[in-house]
Structure 1
Amino acid sequence: MSARLALALAFLLVAFIAEAGTVRLATWHLELDRDGPGLLLRDIRRGEDPRLDAIAGAIATVAPDVLVVQGVDYDHGLRALGALRDRIAEDGPYFPHLFALRPNTGRPTGLDMDGDGRRGGPRDAQGYGTFSGQGGMAILSRHPFDRDGARDFSAVPWRDLPGAVLPRWPDGRPFPSDAAQAVQRLSSVGHWAVPVRLPSGPLTLLTFHATTPVFDGAEDRNGRRNHDEIRFWQRYLDGAFGPAPARRFVLIGDANLDPGRGAGRRGAIRALLADPRLRDPLPGRNTVDWAQTGPLRVSYLLPSTDLRVTGAGVHWPPEDAPGRAAAVLAGPHRLVWVDLALD
């Protein structure tokens, strides 16, 4: 059987599954961000980056109905995201519906936010970034979004999270200053609740990309922020930020934290995984392999307990298997997916 015929049969199978009432969701930290605005769009249009071919091939293999991605630069009009969508469609599924909002990455504050005594650096933005929009997140979907029903929590002040563990100097003063904490947003990239209109009814995606818990000082600014970015979702489901869905929702994204290994305040992710409102279809499965840390689990797909999981996996072909070299080339993060039966 030719590769082209196999791909066509795979898409027919996916279409049959979708019609049968199953939806496949996936998330992947692509690490496609560039050092300046417009460079990602340029590189996609040039078609000379072999990583893009590897990424498109993996997405074609998994063939999700809805794909949440991180590490994609945001621009007005979503031109880079649209170009990425079109590149994916050359090998795999076409996603007619795109959703992305301006992230906190690179958004200037005018203040010293990291305590180094200087202003205007990438760590002085609301979220780390050399320009506004660097390394944002996005959703690509075969199904339309309920845009009027979408909620963006990215502007929520960190100090407004109930029980926030804000950083302090050794003498107890707010780190790096009270003025900085007054404007500091909780989200390093974003926190969104986005309903997707499926034939069986809406499914709400609760998506985010938390900061890394390292690359700071003794004040543990990043570790504390990562902890609270994760903990936000439990407070949201508790009703602390307005009405929250009671059913048919999926928490999906990059928490940048493993529940058992690596740096960080692991209590937050452990509490999230143990929350009785969520189910974990992939316990213990690694989703990234960094040279500095080895394999870790940092990306998550956690459906609400009313949803029935019919399949789940991490796209990582074994040694010497077809697609392994491409998966390695695509980057250290792995494509994570779950199938849900929506009766």
Structure 2
Amino acid sequence: MQNRIPSVKTGGNSKRFSFYLHTLNIQTALCSDNILKFVPSTMQQCRFNFYMNKIFFILSILSTGALFSQHDLQKNLELTFATYNVSMESENYFPRGTKGNSEQVLINELESGNNAQIRNIAQIIQTVRPDVILLNEFDYIKNPELGVKAFIKNYLKVGQGGATAIDYPYYYHSTVNTGQSSPYDLNNDGKSENFGSDAWGFGMYPGQYAMMILSKYPIDVKAVRTFQHFKWKDMPGALLTKKPDGSDWYSKEVWSQFPLSSKSHWDVPVQIGNKTVHILASHPTPASFDGAEDRNGKRNHDEIRFWKDYISDNSTSYIYDDKGVKGVLPSNSQFVLLGDQNASPVEGNAISEGIKSLLAHPKINSDLIPASKGGAEHSPQNPFGINHTAFWRMRADYVLPSKLGFKVINSGVFWPAKGEPMSELVEKRESSSDHRLVWVKVILE
């Protein structure tokens, strides 16, 4: 009787499998009844050897087949990357300007598990179910048990509004510049208040408007690069802010210490099988809340420009990280740039060249622009409304995968139109956030 062996994609191992198959066929022939009837004394040993070889052969197929199946699966793996400004900073839960606000307010809301606004945010995440997501404006809470883990445990791992619970075993969070006091009068109003507009990044307390990354895949924490303390002055051609009389807005002393990033810039490597995907995360300052000098607009532009320079091939780059290591992203890297950039190429008061040049970068796939029915409905007279990502009518939030290593298959903005399922989650500012979750689905190549 002929042994039927299931076909297996063996790639470079075909010779080894041919040898196994040839050996098994020989053993089968030697142990056939036609041979054994003439040499019955060898029957027991022969059959033992035959079955051992067969077991070894099958195990080899299973193990190698599993490896190849995993490889084939990884090559066609669908992944969803998302960014979401959740507006989960403490002032969101009290009237703005309330004294004494700090991250403790958010700690209390996370512990309760009952905040309606946060539950709606969790339901939105559970509905879209991204594999990796950046959350902007989630206050920095040093103890993860009180912060990120409490959010996962008490909200994401609890089904909300009929959605299925979701877990993120891996996360990354770190310090930011918002609310970090400076000893200077940075807004030149004649007062040095240490916080607010006189902090290195606007904030009423350290860690306000921070950010975090949640991932279903392992994060290589030791390889993370942060650029929180990169000095603005060290960017060649930085946009300098001037007073009406032409003098420098910032003194030499201030300029020598001023960080470029209003929060931080992160390069966070995520391991997906044998691939490394770099998550480039940031949240540039809004290009507003200033004056004719446009100091925030210029900072916004240069914060966005930082990423354009970081993904460009330049061995003599000016960029250094918080450990003092110089250099840009290796040229053959797969990456996804995430975040609320507070800039649009066609609307708003940002210096549009910053975001335009990033979207036009030859390494970035920006062809498929996320859209929603809700955005179009919210601004029916605006041709760009379909691509808006914020309640205040602008495309501000971006998910930008590299052309290398990804095939983009779909994208969207979670913004249901009125009357559609879950439209109540975005009905008003207080329902969830003033921003919308933006996602892009890709195939890992």
Question: Does TM-score exceed 0.5, indicating one fold?
Answer: yes
Say if 2:310 is the partner of 1:243: no
Pairwise mapping of residues 202-281 of structure 1 onto structure 2 (< 5 A)? 202-238=276-312, 239=314, 240=317, 241=319, 242-246=327-331, 247-280=333-366, 281=368
Q: Which has the larger share of strand? A: 1
**Are 1:204 and 1:245, in contact at CA under 8 Å, matched by a contact in 2?**
no
Aligned match for 1:96, one of 166, 169, 173: 169
Residue 72 of structure 1: CA displacement?
Answer: 0.5
- Map of 1:1-343 to 2, 5 A cutoff? 21-34=77-90, 35-78=101-144, 79-86=146-153, 87-91=155-159, 92-119=165-192, 120-238=194-312, 239=314, 240=317, 241=319, 242-246=327-331, 247-280=333-366, 281-282=368-369, 285-290=387-392, 295-306=393-404, 307-328=406-427, 329-343=431-445
| Higher share of residues assigned helix | 2
Between the aligned residues of both structures, percent identity stands at: 35
- Residue type of the alignment partner of 1:160: D
Instruction: Quickly say closer, same or farther: Cα 1:18–1:314, change in 2 above 3 A.
Output: farther
| Contact preservation (8 Å) 2:336, 2:402 | yes
Q: Deviations over 1:162-218 (max 9, x none)?
A: 210021112332213222211110000110111001114110011100100000011
Q: Which moved more, 1:211-220 or 1:237-246?
A: 237-246
The range that moved more, 278-287 or 315-324, is: 278-287
Is the CA contact 1:315–1:336 (under 8 Å) kept in the aligned structure 2?
yes
Give, in whole Å, the separation in 1 of the partners of 2:75 and 2:417: 31
C-alpha separation between the residues in 2 aligned to 1:36 and 1:98? 22
- Any unmatched runs of 5+ in structure 2? 1-72, 91-100, 160-164, 320-326, 371-383
Q: Matched residue of 1:58: which SS?
A: helix
C-alpha RMSD of matched pairs (Å): 1.6
d(CA) in 1 for partners of 2:221, 2:195? 34
1:5 equivalent in structure 2: none
More RCO (CA 8 Å, sep 6+) = 1
| Gapped regions of structure 1 (runs ≥ 5) | 1-16
Q: What's the CA shift string for 1:45-74, capped at 9, x where partnerless? A: 223421111101111110011110001010
Matched residues, number: 323
Q: What's the secondary structure of 2:298's corresponding residue?
A: helix
Task: Please report the TM-score for the alignment, with normalisation by the length of structure 2.
Answer: 0.70
Larger CA Rg, structure 1 vs 2:
2
Any conservation in 1 of the 2:86–2:138 contact (CA below 8 Å)? Answer: yes
Distance 1:18 1:175, change over 3 A: same
Call closer, same or farther: CA 1:110–1:287 in 2, change over 3 Å: same
Tell me which amino acid in the other structure corresponds to 1:105.
Answer: T
- In structure 1, the partner of 2:30 is none
> What is the CA distance between 1:286 and its match in structure 2?
1.2
TM value normalised by structure 1: 0.90
Any idea what SS the aligned residue of 2:147 has?
helix
